[in-house]
Amino acid sequence: MNQERGHGQTWRVTPVLLCRISLRYLSWGSESVSTQMHHVDLRYTKEELLLIFDQATQEDVDRGGHYDCRGGAIHIWSHPWTTVAARYDSTTIGALYVNWLEERIDRIETDESFDLADLLHELAILEDKALGDTKHGVYRW
């Protein structure tokens, strides 16, 4: 920060590249993983988004589910954290990012071992439970 006499403060900000997000294992031995960001336009009503987030919260990874909701994102995990070993072995599959102002999922991030079809399958499961039907999610089998 530079400050000159009689002048306001000048802030120097390091530019940040957008969409250079990297999911991190939230288990022991954290390490960065390579991810891919997919820009999507999956529109919902606000009520539908709230139901989806409510379902994901009920199925939190700490309580035997596969989800971890933080802010505008639902992170999807490979295993529920029912034991210390399961927590250690569990990895992120990816994340669904919600734009609340536009009432849509606008990005889906996939872990290096998974693809967009895997996350759309997980979305179909979540939609089915929360909404009673699928809207944008697609079952793989």
Domain contains 94: yes
The structural domain count of the chain equals 1
Domain contains 23: no
Domain contains 110: yes
Average of per-residue pLDDT across 2-22: 41
What's the pLDDT score for residue 31?
55
What's the pLDDT score for residue 17?
33
CATH number at residue 47: 3.30.310
What's the pLDDT score for residue 16?
33
Question: Phi then psi for 106, rounded to 5 degrees?
Answer: -110, -10
Average of per-residue pLDDT across 92-111: 96
Domain contains 73: yes
Domain that holds residue 103: 37-141
Residues in the chain: 141
- CB-based burial of residue 126 (10 Å sphere; 0-12 exposed, 13-18 middle, 19+ buried)? buried
Separation of CA 129 from chain center: 18
Q: In this prediction, what percent of the chain has a pLDDT beyond 70? A: 77
CA distance 63 to 111: 22
Rounded to two decimals, what is the model's pTM? 0.74
DSSP label of 24: B
